[in-house]
Amino acid sequence: MSRAPSLAILILAAGRSRRMGRDKLMLRRHDGVPLLANRISTALATGHGVFVALPARSPTRLTLVRQSLATPLPCPDAGRGMGHSLAHAIGSLPKGLDGVLVLLADMPALTLDDLMSLSDGFDPDRILRGATQDNAPGHPVLIPARFLSRLSALEGDQGAHHVIADLPTRLIPLPADHARFDVDTPADWQEWLDRSAPS
């Protein structure tokens, strides 16, 4: 029997929330739980190790991560863009992983089932990427270890897509807009509150 793959979930939470005007990851859902805390607890429920890329100076986010079972990864160059944060965080992960599932912290619609759909389908030779039902690519993205070195060259606000676009990839359709809905503005957050309100 082959062993289960050793995967980590990397939550990217190092952005500045400029368009929101305040820290969007600390906004509270209907249940009173901050968005970042919910994303961490959802990731932890997969059973994989969870790591959170953070700005170097964000005591509120850091405290929240430390109160969970996730591992904080402060990124000194977070202000230079997502590429720098991702490259630094990948380099800070434990050695010997078979792959890393990269999850954006501002995507509230992604569920435990969504994360398991990718992690359960792990392929050491192929990137798995969340998508809509009509195959529009989105997030999260599961990157096998053999391709992780490509991320070390990222800089600025360059996302991983630019360096993995030519690699073998399988799209994993997720329900509705789970793979594409993110929160950038107050209107986005209000839309999420409206659609997630208890019935």
Residue 122 is part of a domain; what is its CATH number?
A: 3.90.550.10
Sort strands 137-144 and 127-131 into parallel, antiparallel or unpaired. antiparallel
Region class of 156: left (phi > 0), else alpha (psi between -120 and 50), else beta = left
73 found inside a domain: yes
pLDDT grade for 57, boundaries at 50, 70 and 90: confident
**Alpha carbon of residue 54 to chain centroid:** 12
Give exposure, 115-142, as e/b (b: 16+ Cβ within 10 Å).
Answer: bebbbeebeeebbbbbbbeeeebbbbbb
**pLDDT at position 23 over 70:** yes
156 compared with 151, residue with greater pLDDT: 151
pTM: 0.94
Specify the DSSP class assigned to residue 13.
-
pLDDT at residue 157, as a whole number? 65
| Domain of 17, in residue numbers | 7-196
3-state secondary structure of 98: coil
Report the percent of the chain where pLDDT is more than 90. Answer: 71
Query: 3-class SS at 118?
Result: helix
**pLDDT at residue 1 greater than cutoff 50:** no
1 domain-assigned: no
Give the bridge partners for 137, in sequence order: 131
Residue 2 lies in a domain: no
Residue 45 within a domain? yes
Burial environment of residue 161 by CB neighbours within 10 A (0 to 12, 13 to 18, 19 or more): exposed
What mean pLDDT, rounded, does the chain reach? 90
Which spans in 73-168 are helix H?
A: 82-92, 112-119, 161-164
- pLDDT confidence tier of residue 194, bands split at 50, 70 and 90: very high
Asked if the structure places residue 46 within a domain, the reply is yes
How many separate domains does the chain show? 1
Q: Mean pLDDT across the stretch 9-16?
A: 90
Mean pLDDT value across residues 42-67: 94
